[in-house]
Amino acid sequence: MNPTDLKKPIHVMKFGGTSVATPSLIQNAAQRIADRRKSGVHVVCVVSAMGDTTDNLMSLARQISERPPNRELDVLLSAGEVQSMALLSMALQEIGIAARSFTGSQGGIRTDTQHSEARILHIDPDRIVSALAKDEVVVLAGFQGHDERDEITTLGRGGSDTSAVAMAAALGAELCEILTDVTGVYSADPRIVDGARQIESLGYDEMLEMANLGARVLHGRSVEMARRFEVPLVVASSTRNTPGTRIVGKETDMEKVEIRAVTDDRNVKKISLVSVPDTPGVAANIFGALGELGVNVRLIVQAQSHAGNNDITFVVPGDTHIDQQQLDDLVKQVGGENWIVDERIALLNIIGEGISREPGIAGSIFRILADQQINLDLISSSNLVITCVVSEEDLVRGTRALHEGLIETDAS
């Protein structure tokens, strides 16, 4: 059966870890789903593991093995979401709603073979559509799938958002709601900045930058997928009935440049290759080698050349595995002097479409940081974002000052 043969529209409702952390929160989620179903739609809910379950499972694995085998780690971590899906399905049945839970694999989520960071290749939602046709609520375990060998895979931390959007795309859902412990997407992390404002709606591109640059409220890949398949996406509270934030294709003000958010990301480290020859092909060799090591490079800065040599610096995610031997080999391969790794840095990002073409914005940003005596280590800019690399201890102060100076002072 095809999803388009169903008589009612489909809503995907994703509940994050803190929103299913206790039995009473699971019951709250069930009630919310029941209410939605009453409004005349089919509901597919996607669940994360309860509270800190994923962290706790990870720590159990590390107590057994310093480097747990990837396959077994995925089997273990996937258990968190399996626990939630069964409990939510029970809670629904307890209040008289027909429901059925599905693991990622039972829900037809096929991924590549890359354990712990698997990508979704294809979804075969047959079983899910059959359950919906019987008017059952579907409860799907987020964050997991299965590969071509039928091995369990996981999608990377925070990946349940991506499961939800992918399923919404595969089913042609009318709405995909990410229900969480904040009331929507804010102009900064509301846990850090008291004056952070909820954003009513923002474009996929701006949201994608925010997600990739520290606003963990949405998994970056979920936004990418929502944009690609034009999935109507809303971030809202799991416990309060407030409107939330809509992520949309296009904003209405055609050319207005507006600073939308300041995000902070401390989960990064900086690697500098010192005094490498300033000749064609060096950067290609460096980043080619890093690509082969599977290193995901976030920002690259090449300093001015001095006496035929220069420094090449790049920022990578904090959990990147690159050891001393690999760095020694890299420096040797390109004829450089040495390398330096700095883990005590962080990214401060100012986001808004058209931001770097608007005269004066960069100056205001740097003035605000200078007034705070915050030193800028590196700077990069694009049409959507200006990123400042600062020392980790300046991150919170810098985030608050930028938010206050750029967003709170804007009366609109």
80 near ligand ASP, rule: CB under 6 A: yes
Least distance (Å) between residue 217 CB and Mg ion? 7
Contacts of 359 (CB under 8 A, 6+ apart): none
* Angle, CA of 361, 365 and 371, to the nearest 5°: 140
Residue nearest to ligand ADP (CB): 16
Tell whether residue 17 is a contact of ligand ADP (CB under 6 A): yes
User: In terms of CB distance, is 3 or 51 closer to ligand ADP?
Assistant: 51
Q: Does 159 bind ligand ASP (CB under 6 A)?
A: yes
Shortest reach from residue 155's CB to Mg ion, in Å? 12
Tokens 């205001």 sit at which residue?
364
- In order, the DSSP letters of 285-322 are HHHHHHHHTT----EEEEPPPBTTEEEEEEEEETT---
Count, residues near ligand ADP per rule CB under 6 A: 19
Pick out residues in 244-283 that bind ligand ADP (CB under 6 A): 261
The distance of closest approach from Cβ of residue 1 to ligand ADP in the complex, given in angstroms and rounded to an integer, is 31
Chain centroid to CA 394? 23
Closest by Cα among 341, 376, 349, 375 to 270: 341
CA distance 412 to 407: 9
- Asked if 211 is part of the footprint of ligand ADP (rule: CB under 6 A), the reply reads no
Interstrand relation of 385-391 and 378-381 (parallel, antiparallel or unpaired): antiparallel
Q: Kindly tell me which of 16 and 108 has the beta carbon lying closer to Mg ion.
A: 16
State the number of binding residues for Mg ion (CB under 5 A). Answer: 2
Scanning 95-142, the segments in alpha helix (DSSP H) are 126-133
Work out which of 185, 202, 355, 369 binds ligand ADP, going by CB under 6 A: 185
Residue 314 contacts ligand ADP per CB under 6 A: no
> CB-hemisphere CA count at 13 Å for 65?
8
The one segment of 187-195, 291-299, 341-349, 377-385 that binds ligand ADP by CB under 6 A: 187-195
Q: Note whether 189 binds ligand ADP by CB under 6 A.
A: yes
Q: Is 113 helix (H, G, I), strand (E, B) or coil?
A: coil
Q: What is the CA radius of gyration of the chain?
A: 23
Q: What x/- string results for residues 19 through 58 when contact with ligand ADP is judged by CB under 6 A?
A: x----------------------------x----------
* Residue 117 sits in the site that holds ligand ADP (CB under 6 A): no
Q: Does 158 bind Mg ion (CB under 5 A)?
A: yes
Q: What residue 142 binds from ligand ADP, Mg ion, ligand ASP, none (CB within 5 to 8 A, per partner kind)?
A: ligand ASP
Q: What is the residue-wise DSSP string for 188-222?
A: S-TTT-TT--B-SEEEHHHHHHHHHTT-TTS-HHH
Partner in contact with 278, chosen from Mg ion, ligand ASP, ligand ADP, none, beta carbon below 5 to 8 Å by kind: none
**Helices 160-171 and 220-229: angle between axes, nearest 10 degrees:** 10
Residues that bind ligand ADP (CB under 6 A): 16-19, 48, 158, 180-182, 185-186, 188-191, 215-217, 261
Residues that bind ligand ASP (CB under 6 A): 16-17, 48-49, 54, 80, 142-143, 157-160
